[in-house]
Amino acid sequence: MGIIVQKYGGSSVADIEKIKHVAEKVTNTQKKGNKVVVVVSAMGKTTDNLINLAKQIHKNPPTREMDLLLSTGEIVSVALLCMAIENLGFEAEGLPGFLAGIRTDNIHTKARIRTIDTRRILEELKKDKIVVVAGFQGISPEDNITTLGRGGSDLTAIAIAGALKAEICEIYTDVPGVFTADPNIVPEARIIPVISYKEMLEMASAGAKVMQSRAVEFAQKYHIPFVVKSTFIENGGTMVTEVDFKEGAVVSSVTLDEKQAKITFFHVPDRPGVAARIFGALGEANINVDIIVQNVSTSGYTDLSFTVNIAEIERAFEISQNIGKELGCKSVTSDNEIAKVTVIGLGMMNHPGVAARMFSALARAGINIEMISTSEIKISCIVRKKDGQKALKTVHQEFIK
Ligand code: ADP
Ligand code: ASP
Ligand code: MG
């Protein structure tokens, strides 16, 4: 009998009625003769609310305690879903991450999964129980609770599916699949029935929050196919797997990331070791840097800007200000009012001119580009946050017919 892993996101378990609906879906899957492992996220906006509470007490909350706090959100969902399943006459066993054998490293608030000891899950499945696992969390080598970064329940589901060699991993969410752009911003966006890991990874890294990028990375590395579906609508679904590129659309999707922030060092001495000093310090603090731009230097000085996730801007700014002083810069500023729009497509590898088309479309719409970054299959532009949604719609209209 095959194992099916199903993951239900925050909006799918946002209230009691929705939790009851998920219990119906889960028990129906078991009735069809499958062994079922369910991964759940925290209810609705719980994680945001918990972060908010912490920030009201401490500007930079200690990350170990932050993880302790955040892990509670998914545990609430687990307990309630198990009760709803039992209420339908089925047996369920709820497991927080550490009881499900999810061992991580010790990088609090964005830990990586190292191993999964599946013994407990398998024992419960053998007893014909539906196993409900708390997403987004694990336990460090020091036996502390860790969390896996925002959207991390996706990673829990993918990693468990891999460890159990599940038949399929189903990611249930509030949209019917992966679209050519966020359907909540671009109503004309179309569903993509099958997509390669590579493109899905670029989309996720560019901020399409429908899948966490680390989860896609993990799925690609260990060849774990998964499907993204709606909890509420039967039809649709996007299969994410290894697919060969077929000649077709040059751009397959466009993405907007409104969770970016920018730091600029003005008038920094242009000498060897400066970039290494700045980015070395940020790396040591486990802060991921996305786009970096350095201006042409004039009389031995230059300006240098980079972007980070907005959740890390306070820490990044504090570190940058200290280094700015040390290097003798004129000033260091931080700017939260930016957004990143990205076009993605395997077809871009063989088609020059995509960048020019993107820049022209943005120019025609009167949108100024502040930073640019490209890779083999994507082009990203930083724009003002107020222009972000317009930029997304403009670029979608340009490339996706
Ligand atoms: P969950 O709570 O189920 O994890 P998320 O809110 O994390 O759900 O992700 C689903 C959301 O992702 C959708 O509601 C949609 O607004 C957003 N999204 C962004 N880009 C895309 C895309 N290309 N296709 C589908 N959804 C997208
Ligand atoms: N609850 C966590 C978050 O909001 C994890 C998840 O939903 O996947 O980021
Ligand atoms: Mg999510």
What would the pLDDT profile of 93-113 be if each residue is shown by its tens digit?
999 999 999 999 999 999 999
Instruction: Please indicate, yes or no, if residue 249 is contained in any of the structural domains.
Output: no
Q: Is residue 351 pLDDT above 90, yes or no? A: no
CATH code of the domain in which 60 resides: 3.40.1160.10
Same domain, 161 and 304: no
What would the pLDDT profile of 54-89 be if each residue is shown by its tens digit?
999 998 899 999 999 999 999 999 999 999 999 999
Q: Which of 178-187, 238-247, 365-374 has the lowest mean pLDDT?
A: 238-247
Q: Stretch 351-374: mean pLDDT, rounded?
A: 95
Q: What is the pLDDT of residue 243?
A: 84
- Identify whether the C-beta of residue 278 lies closer than 8 Å to the C-beta of residue 321: no
Instruction: Please indicate, yes or no, if residue 386 is contained in any of the structural domains.
Output: yes
Instruction: Please indicate, yes or no, if residue 375 is contained in any of the structural domains.
Output: yes
pLDDT confidence tier of residue 191, bands split at 50, 70 and 90: very high
Residue of 173, 216, 252 with the most ligand 1 atoms within 8 Å of its CB, for mutation: 173
> Three-class SS of residue 39?
strand
Q: What is the pLDDT of residue 247?
A: 67
Q: How many A from CA of 18 to the centre of ligand 1?
A: 17
From the CA of 184, the nearest ligand is 1
Closest CA to ligand 2's atom 4: 47
The DSSP code for 163 is H
What mean pLDDT value characterizes the chain? Answer: 95
Q: Which residues are CB-contacts of 284 (< 8 A; sequence separation ≥ 6)?
A: none
Q: What is the pLDDT of residue 235?
A: 85
Which percentage of the chain shows pLDDT scores above 70?
Answer: 99
Q: Is residue 193 pLDDT above 70, yes or no? A: yes
401 or 36, greater pLDDT:
36
Residue of 153, 155, 231 with the most ligand 2 atoms within 8 Å of its CB, for mutation: 153
Q: Is residue 399 pLDDT above 70, yes or no? A: yes
Same domain, 12 and 153: yes
1 or 33, greater pLDDT:
33
Same domain, 276 and 159: no
Strand pairing class (238-241; 194-196): parallel
Q: How many A from CA of 43 to the centre of ligand 2?
A: 9
What would the pLDDT profile of 286-344 be if each residue is shown by its tens digit?
999 999 999 888 889 999 999 999 999 999 999 999 999 999 999 999 999 999 999 99
Which percentage of the chain shows pLDDT scores above 90?
Answer: 91
Same domain, 11 and 144: yes
Q: How many A from CA of 73 to the centre of ligand 2?
A: 9
Domain that holds residue 350: 254-399
Whole-angstrom distance, CA of residue 384 vs CA of residue 386: 5
What would the pLDDT profile of 231-287 be if each residue is shown by its tens digit?
999 888 999 999 876 667 789 999 999 999 999 999 999 989 999 999 999 999 999
Same domain, 258 and 375: yes
Q: Is residue 220 pLDDT above 90, yes or no? A: yes
Instruction: Please indicate, yes or no, if residue 189 is contained in any of the structural domains.
Output: no
pLDDT confidence tier of residue 26, bands split at 50, 70 and 90: very high
Instruction: Please indicate, yes or no, if residue 61 is contained in any of the structural domains.
Output: yes
Instruction: Please indicate, yes or no, if residue 299 is contained in any of the structural domains.
Output: yes
Q: What is the pLDDT of residue 360?
A: 97
Q: Which of 174, 205, 236 is the last residue of a domain?
A: 174
Nearest-5° Cα angle at 387, 10 to 349: 80
Cα separations in angstroms, 362 against 343, 376, 387: 12, 21, 10
Instruction: Please indicate, yes or no, if residue 325 is contained in any of the structural domains.
Output: yes
pTM for this model (two decimals): 0.93
Same domain, 170 and 258: no
Question: Is residue 9 in contact with ligand 1, taking CB distance under 6 Å?
Answer: yes
Same domain, 131 and 263: no
Q: Positive or negative, the Cα torsion across 64, 121, 27, 231?
A: positive
Question: Is residue 135 in contact with ligand 2, taking CB distance under 6 Å?
Answer: yes
Q: How many CA atoms lie within 13 A of 264 on its CB side?
A: 13
- Identify whether the C-beta of residue 336 lies closer than 8 Å to the C-beta of residue 310: yes
Same domain, 9 and 131: yes
Q: Which of 119, 142, 174 is the last residue of a domain?
A: 174
Same domain, 381 and 272: yes
* Full strand arrangement of the beta sheet holding 130-134: 92-95, 130-134, 35-40, 3-8, 168-173, 226-230, 238-241, 194-196
CATH code of the domain in which 325 resides: 3.30.2130.10
Instruction: Please indicate, yes or no, if residue 191 is contained in any of the structural domains.
Output: no
Helices (H), 272-340: 274-284, 313-327
| Number of domain units in the chain | 2
Q: What is the pLDDT of residue 364?
A: 98
Q: Which of 128, 157, 174 is the last residue of a domain?
A: 174
Question: Is residue 97 in contact with ligand 2, taking CB distance under 6 Å?
Answer: no
